[in-house]
Structures are given as structure tokens and as C-alpha cells.
Structure 1
């Protein structure tokens, strides 16, 4: 009978550190991500020949074809006031999502009122169809 010493097993590598890193990255991305709120009402963007404009941001003033305005949770005149405050304080321009069927005079009035309230720049969002 032959008695040999048992062969040493290779060490088993644990996957626990890798799982910890994956969960830490998941938590980091969840905490730093910005989730865009849904649009308050549907607008049909005007078509443009150039590249599409600014993406949906929390600093977006929505204009419906019938003249309704929304900015975040604010509606009507309160939306215009809140958009003017946000457009005046930030370095990035205010995004304006106007329905393609809105009259040019109504859009011009809104832009004039924003300018009177101190907004230096507003980008109109278009679709690049």
C-alpha cells in the first residue's frame, strides 16, 4: 500500500470583490444619473434641415399649439416666470419646445416676454427629420 501526501489544491479565487465593485458602480450611476421628467403635453416639433437641437432637459419651457405653457410643475404665467428665472440664473440656454403648429406671432411674444425678464438666450428644439 502506498501512502502519498495529498496534493495541494490550487487556491479558489473569490468573486466577491468583483461583485462589490459592480454594485458600487451601479449605486454610483444611479445616484449621479438625471432622470428627465415626462413632457407635460405632447408637441409636434417643427422639422429642420440642420442637426436636431437641444435634448430634453429640466430647463425646458413647453409651448403647445393652443398657447399653453409649462415649465416643470408650473403652468401658464407661472411657467413663464419660472422659465425666466431659470434662464436668467444659468450659464446654459433655456430650451424651448414649441409645437410646430404654433403661430409665429405667439412664439415671438413668448420670446419677447422672456427677453424682458432677463433671459439672454433660448434654444428652440426641433426634430431633424
Structure 2
């Protein structure tokens, strides 16, 4: 009499190994990724519905009272221009972080001051509004 061969038991899939690998990759990218400096917490950003995203590194923050802040320190346009080392590329343009409560007349006055210092093009930082 011929007995049937016993069926091989398949081991259940072990997903713990996969979870460990994904977790280690997450930690690696958190540590190895470049971090941008924090933006000025006193500024509430302008909202837009459609805009390109750019990193808020090296921004000139303009608070609601019209005061200028650069790298966490109060500045004037002249001291900012002496510290700022931008280039001709779009990525090197000065970035303005403008408080939405700032009157438009004050923003125009600051823009005129920037133009007098030789700045022709700036990028205004905004936050994307929820759809």
C-alpha cells in the first residue's frame, strides 16, 4: 500500500522583519535629511490656494507692526542687505515672509526700500490654503 506524501506546511509570512526595515529607514531619513531653520513664530502667513512650494530658508520676516527680522534678529533693510548673500538664480532670490495683518502701504514702502538697495525680484512666502 502506497501512502500519500505528507503535505509540506508553509510558514506564515513574517512581516515583523519588513516593519523593522521600514522603521529603520524612517529613522535614517529623519536623521540624514536636511532641516530648514524655523520660521518666525510671530508671523501668521498669507494663504494662497495654488502656489509652488519653496523652503523657507533665509527669509526676511516682516511682522504686522512693520518690523523686519532676519535669522531671528531684528534688522533694518541696510543691515539685512549687508548680511544677505543672494545670487541671480530664482532659488537665490530674497524670500519675504510677510504677516497678513501688515498694511499694504507698509509692504509697498519696504518693497521700495528693497528696490533702492538694488533688489529687483523677491519671492513672497505664503501658506497653501486648504481646498
Structure 1 length normalisation: TM-score? 0.62
In structure 2, how many angstroms separate the alpha carbons of the residues matched to 1:53 and 1:65? Answer: 23
Kept after mapping to 2: 8 A contact 1:65/1:102: yes
What is the aligned partner in structure 2 of residue 127 from structure 1? 127
Kept after mapping to 1: 8 A contact 2:87/2:93: no
5+ residue gaps in structure 2? 1-27
SS in 1 for 2:78: helix
Kept after mapping to 2: 8 A contact 1:52/1:125: no
- Is 1:118 aligned with 2:115? no
Shift of 1:69: 0.9
Kept after mapping to 2: 8 A contact 1:96/1:125: yes
- Is 1:47 aligned with 2:32? no
Distance 1:70 1:49, change over 3 A: same
What is the aligned partner in structure 2 of residue 83 from structure 1? 80
Off by >4 Å, runs of 4+ in structure 1: 87-90
**Could you say which structure has the higher strand fraction?**
2
Shift of 1:99: 0.5
Q: Alpha-carbon deviations, 1:56-92, whole Å to 9, x = none?
A: 11x2100111112111144131xx2243342655532
Q: RMSD in angstroms over aligned alpha carbons?
A: 2.5
Distance 1:70 1:106, change over 3 A: same
Q: Alpha-carbon deviations, 1:28-77, whole Å to 9, x = none?
A: x85xx6432223442111122322553211x2100111112111144131
Structure 2 length normalisation: TM-score? 0.61
5+ residue gaps in structure 1? 1-25
